[in-house]
């Protein structure tokens, strides 16, 4: 197999379509959990009311198939491919979803990778967007994730945890 990574961002149309972000993200999560592990796809999807940004890793044919389907989804528009290239190894061993909102921890990630406090992928390089997504899905912002086995044909999860707030007492 030819291992490949694709990074894109897009504008969310969910609010504009008058739909519930929570409900649509649940549907996208369900589809991703159903489709990505059997296709050997790992990576991450981050979102807020305005934007999506996603990394898809796996066999280049599987990544292309998945992206073509996702790109045609009416829940977003203005898709921009930020990077698409062969890779030596995966950066992600599983598939995760995270909400790009605000907390002390997340605001520090915006400052680390971008010039604004808030997600604006249009101003970010491929390297900074990729690093931001990787950091965000390892933070409290992660809302779900699912694993694939080495063979890519088994799944566990999703484990859905609401973005936990750290207690002041630590």
Ligand X SMILES: Cc1cc2nc3c(=O)[nH]c(=O)nc-3n(C[C@H](O)[C@H](O)[C@H](O)COP(=O)(O)O)c2cc1C
Q: What is the torsional sign of CA 131, 132, 133, 135?
A: positive
145 touching ligand X, by CB under 6 A: no
Between CA 88 and CA 149 the distance in angstroms is: 18
Separation in Å, CA 14 to CA 17, 45, 100: 5, 15, 16
144 touching ligand X, by CB under 6 A: no
Minimum Å gap between C-beta 165 and ligand X is 26
Minimum Å gap between C-beta 104 and ligand X is 27
Structure tokens at 149: 């086995």
Between CA 155 and CA 158 the distance in angstroms is: 9
**The one among 31, 87, 111, 127 contacting ligand X by CB under 6 A:** 31
32 touching ligand X, by CB under 6 A: yes
Binding marks (x or -) toward ligand X, 82..121, rule CB under 6 A?
----------------------------------------
- Residues of the chain by 3-state class (helix, strand, coil), percent to 5: 30, 30, 40
How many CB atoms lie under 10 A from the CB of residue 154?
A: 11
**The one among 7, 44, 63, 70 contacting ligand X by CB under 6 A:** 70
54 touching ligand X, by CB under 6 A: yes
69 touching ligand X, by CB under 6 A: yes
**Site residues, ligand X (CB under 6 A):** 10, 28, 31-32, 34-36, 45, 52, 54, 66, 69-70, 73, 75-76
């Amino acid at each position: 197999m030819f291992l490949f990574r694709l990074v894109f961002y897009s504008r969310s149309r969910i609010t504009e379509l008058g739909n519930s972000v929570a409900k649509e993200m649940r549907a996208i999560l369900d589809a991703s959990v159903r489709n990505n592990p059997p296709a050997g796809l790992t990576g991450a999807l981050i979102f807020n009311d305005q934007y999506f940004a996603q990394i898809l890793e796996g066999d280049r044919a599987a990544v292309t198939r998945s992206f073509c389907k996702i790109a045609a989804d009416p829940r977003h528009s203005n898709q921009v491919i930020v990077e698409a290239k062969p890779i030596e190894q995966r950066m992600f061993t599983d598939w995760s979803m995270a909400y790009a909102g605000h907390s002390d921890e997340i605001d520090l990630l915006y400052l680390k990778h971008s010039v604004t406090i808030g997600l604006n992928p249009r101003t970010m390089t491929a390297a900074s967007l990729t690093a931001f997504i990787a950091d965000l899905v390892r933070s409290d912002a992660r809302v779900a994730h699912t694993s694939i086995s080495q063979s890519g044909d088994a799944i566990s999860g999703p484990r859905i945890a609401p973005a936990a707030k750290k207690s002041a007492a630590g």
